[in-house]
Amino acid sequence: MKINDYSKSREQYLRACKVIPSGIYGHQGPAEGCYTPIEAWPMFSSRAQGSYFWDLDGNRMIDYMCGYGPNILGYHDPDVDEAARKQRELADCVTVPTTKMIDFAELLVDTVACADWAFFMKNGTDATTFANLTARAATGRKKTIFLRGYYHGNQPWAMKADYPGILPEEVANNIVVPWFDIPALEKAWDMAKGDVAALIAQPYDHGNFFDNRVASKEYWAQVREFCTKHGIVLIIDDVRTGFRLDLAGSDHYYGFEADIICFCKALANGYNMSAACGKEHLRAAASSLSYTGSYWMSAEPFAACIATINKMKALDVPTMFRKLGTQLTDGLREAGKAHGFDLKVSGEPALFYLRIANDDSLMLHQEWVAECVSRGLFITSHHNHFLNAAVTEADIALAVDIADDAFSVVAQRHPEKGFIK
């Protein structure tokens, strides 16, 4: 099987390092140490279509990261792009907003189970920060409960004390408790002496570098009861999972209602938009905030959002993704088994996490992932994966074929582990 060459990507990465900190900063490049070894990974794309992107060297990658989530219908979906184009030709970033904002708010309120209103921003951190500020404004309290392993954006309030640049006082009001531990929530409430404004959580435990753990409806019913009893605003961070499990929101999927739910990635199939939807009792607090941005009411992304949600409804993407995700992960697992690998799949099928369980250090897993990427299957070793509606049966077969070849290579490289060659 052909092994990709990334010479042009390397040249451009070195060029980028001269003028951009880290060259490619954050999670979409090697700066965080997740592209291991770096030689196996493309650094820059040249174009994208459907379930694929092409890098600068002309290598085609079947992409199961989907831009880390925004690509839900497929790159360059024609319906979404056409809706955005038509709106852009009329008006986009204007001194006063267009009524596309109202159209989209009405669609979200009609679609999302817990939504009585919607508020718009540009990225996931904007949405979670807005939600936490709303909770503080509504309750007059200071503290926020997080569940261990959390990630809710890159503003100081949502980060951790050992992160560079974070001051102790910026996270002093954060309380961290384990997942699936209701007594720990009650203990945290008691220790905070009632000064808890919000509990913020993802719909299930889908952190990085560990097996994802799916929550139960019974667990969320208990969390909802805890928050209601103590007047705590329950915020669901649906930035990553939103619309992939349930078009009415992941809280609806797990049988409860959030007070505020935050969306971003899949909202507009790659166009820049995020949203927070909330309950009526928080409307006044949301209205009271000083929270805005020059691009937050741009019309083109609203048009893309409307087209995206309507198409997701027509396709029933949650059902589609459960089927495709199960089919893909079953194929990958069987390919690994044929070579003596125990590939563990966790999380929801629409956002599956992979780990080779033969080696707890993850080094073997990183090695296999790198072999997959160097052959044109873009997956990662640290993060959950994503599907898009453009994925075909042929795409899944290709992914399994590449994975099988990568398993074979790694097995031959490690005869001491007794793999099947």
User: How much is the pLDDT for 256?
Assistant: 98
pLDDT beneath 50: ranges in the chain: none
Q: State which fold the 7-75+317-417 domain adopts.
A: Aspartate Aminotransferase, domain 1 (3.90.1150)
> How do the domains of the chain map onto residue ranges?
7-75+317-417, 78-315
User: How much is the pLDDT for 2?
Assistant: 93
Of 353, 308, 384, 372, whose CA–CA distance to 68 is shortest? 384
By the 8 A CB rule, do 332 and 345 touch? yes
User: How much is the pLDDT for 421?
Assistant: 63
User: How much is the pLDDT for 418?
Assistant: 84
In CATH, the architecture of 78-315 is 3-Layer(aba) Sandwich (3.40)
Predicted TM-score (pTM) of the model is: 0.97
